[in-house]
A and B are shown apart, each in its own frame.
Chain A
């Protein structure tokens, strides 16, 4: 009996860390809304993780669920340094931004936006207050 319990615990031990190290969170975005994700008290623990880990976001919009995953290209320690992530979107682009530099994009159909054609540079800068 004890042997079975130990085998069970070992199996749990082997499988739990792979999911525990991934940051999974679900975010529901209404039309015309942006979302901040803020790291909570666990930042110290995050600092201890030196390996790159996958961070998954599930973005729900207009009854559809999109999965966005940061791959090993992004070091989670960057997210810890910035202490929060910012999600922004334009009419066709959803961008998840870590520390202002690293981002991935995904298409979504959302609200009215300023459109600019034929310009050399269009720099759309978020004006954000500090939420630390």
Chain B
């Protein structure tokens, strides 16, 4: 009788050990951030590589109904067997600010602006608060992902034109700031947006050459707040603005 009792305890112990081991989570190092194209695959991936520039995306852990996704589009731009592309309104903005939206049945929801669009277009000036930048791509993504029941806890950004880039720095100010870019850092795109809280804005092409490497630059607004000035020289102008933002796409080594 006593033996049977001990055998039972032995069995329970073994089961508990087996269970505890089976719960051990395993994490693996998958390498550095040498960037690859999002693994959408197939025709969808080819399309994005050709058309897309800056994008914000999520990957749902479920199959998506692409016909249902179309109900959130202002216009349908392209339909493939596994994906659909359309334009999606950004709340508070007119049609020219619409984001393109790629929805794949495998779970990909990708909001993007085309390759020709400057990255500075993404800032949502209507939502800007000091310390907090909201992008139009996020706003558009939220509408579609929310409608399809997909969580936005893991929104990522990528730029199809610069697969080697791994950072987008957005610097927002009301008057002026100083910036130094070390020579070791590859820069791919620099442009600026001058904006107001009503959502109106102008984009200024700055160019990589305006921010000489290893030099402290002073970047600010002119006295009438209509020009962006770098080291005392006007780089480009728009209209009176409350804020301006500098966008730098680069590779952090």
A residues lining the B interface (CB < 8 Å): 2-3, 5-6, 9-10, 12-13, 16-17, 20-21, 23, 25, 27, 32-42, 45-46, 48-49, 76, 78, 81-85, 99-101, 111-132
Contact = CB atoms under 8 A, between A and B. Distances in A.
Contacts of A49: 23
Contact of B22 (A9, A45, A81, A125): A45
A122 B3 contact: no
Instruction: Indicate the member of B24, B132, B169, B243 with the most A CB atoms within 10 Å.
Output: B24
11 contacts: A3-B6, A6-B9, A13-B20, A32-B253, A37-B27, A48-B23, A99-B154, A114-B169, A120-B131, A122-B169, A125-B167
A27 B132 CA distance: 31
A59 B19 CA distance: 29
A21 to B, nearest CB: 6
Contact of A121 (B9, B23, B133): B133
Instruction: Indicate the member of B29, B163, B178 with the most A CB atoms within 10 Å.
Output: B29
B136 to A, nearest CB: 14
Given A23-B27, A127-B168, A113 B252 contact: yes
Nearest to B211: A114
Nearest to A49: B23
A121 B59 contact: no
Interface string B1-34: 0010010011001101100111111111111110
A13 B30 contact: no
A114 B151 contact: no
A20 B199 CA distance: 52
Contacts of B176: 118
Given A81-B153, A82-B153, A130-B59, A34 B21 contact: no
B29 A36 contact: yes
Nearest to A21: B23
Interface residues of B, number: 69
Contacts of A123: 133, 169-172
A102 to B, nearest CB: 10
A42 B162 CA distance: 34
A34 B29 CA distance: 11
B30 A36 contact: yes
A23 B154 contact: no
B31 A119 contact: no
Interface string B229-250: 0000000000000010000111
Contacts of B207: none
Contacts of B223: none
5 shortest interchain CB distances as A-B pairs: A112-B182, A119-B177, A32-B253, A9-B13, A121-B172
Contacts of A16: 17, 20-21
A10 B12 CA distance: 9
Contacts of B248: 114
Instruction: Indicate the member of B20, B28, B130, B151 with the most A CB atoms within 10 Å.
Output: B20
Contact of A130 (B22, B156, B163): B156
Given A13-B17, A38-B28, A81-B61, 8 more contacts: A13-B20, A16-B17, A34-B32, A45-B23, A76-B25, A99-B153, A127-B168, A128-B35
B57 interface: yes
